[in-house]
Structure 1
Amino acid sequence: MHIRPACPDEAGLLTGIALRAKAYWGYDEAFMAACREELTLDAAAVERASTVVAEDGGRVLGFAVLTGAAPSGELAMLFVEPDRIGGGIGRALFEHVREQARAAGLRRLTIDSDPNAEPFYLAMGATRIGSTPSGSIPGRELPLLEVELAPGA
């Protein structure tokens, strides 16, 4: 497996991964329909952010999106194909983005986490600093997490 920059023409493929990965947690059709727009990438979104993919044997297995500018950034998306969840791809993507953020001079990353993904991010060194409203589901709150990248962040 290797991690490389995403190509703008992969936006549809990445959207499919995001939707399948979100559905992995057992959300119903109405919930998934409400999330569709928020989980949809287009070529401009891929170009605008720092988007990377994890690829193995020509198959894209997951992706991550880093946004922001020093001193703070956001891990805006991190999704892995459901048949590969638990296989280290999420960890590899997270570590790659963390190093990318450090190299860009970011001192901290925030993450609006799905509640099901919160344990993963906590295991990766994030801490919960509050909650944030869902961009898709009115009244739903998401865990707001932070990863410190530099002392004093």
Structure 2
Amino acid sequence: MKVRPAQRSEAGELTELAMASKAHWGYDEAFLASCREELTLHPADIGRHRTTVVEEDGRVLGFTTLEGAPPRGALGMMFVAPDVIGRGIGRVLFEHTATEARRLGFVRLTIDADPNAEAFYLTMGAVRIGATPSGSIPGRVLPLLEVGLTSR
């Protein structure tokens, strides 16, 4: 398994991975269609959002984005391919992103978590600090989490 910066040419592949990962939770087609714009990565987003991938044998298994400017930022996107969920890819991505954020001077990251992923983030040390409106579905709220980076 290799962790590396994403390449601009991978934007479409990462968008499709995000959509497949979101679909893993059983959301219907209408819901997924509503999320597509928010889950779409464009080539220009790759560097600006500090996009990192985990790959194995040339296949991208998951990715994260680290957004904002120190000292406070956001774990903007984190998705793992459905067929490798449970193999520790999420942990590798999360820990790598937290380490990189710390190196860049971030002290806190917020996470607008899918409700199905909240337990994972809590296990990784995040705490729930409230709720935030979905960027895709009017009236839907998401768990708002925060992870401190100074004590790791």
TM-score category of the 2 structures, normalised to the smaller one: over 0.9
State the partner residue of 2:106: 106
Structure 1 residue identity aligned to 2:91: R
Secondary structure at 1:74's aligned position in 2?
Answer: strand
- Give deviations 1:11-62, integer Å, cap 9, x for gaps: 0000010000000000001000000000000101112111000000000000
4+ runs deviating over 4 angstroms? none
1:78 and 2:87 are equivalent in the alignment: no
Q: With the length of structure 1 as denominator, give the TM-score of the two structures.
A: 0.97
Deviations 1:85-139 (A, max 9, x none): 0110000000000000000000100000000000000000000000000000000
Distance 1:70 1:48 in 2: 14
Aligned to 1:45: 45
2:106 & 2:52 partners in 1: Cα distance? 17
- Aligned-pair identity in percent equals 64
Structure 2 length normalisation: TM-score?
0.98
Question: Unaligned stretches of 5+ in structure 2?
Answer: none
For 1:34, give the aligned amino acid.
S
Counterpart Cα distance in 2 of 1:110 and 1:78: 12
Q: How far does the alpha carbon of each residue in 1:59-80 deviate from its partner, in whole angstroms, 9 at most, with x for none? A: 0000000011111010000000
Q: For the residues of structure 1 that align with 2:47 and 2:94, how far apart are their CA atoms?
A: 19
Count of aligned pairs between the two proteins = 151
Displacement of 1:6 after TM fit? 0.2
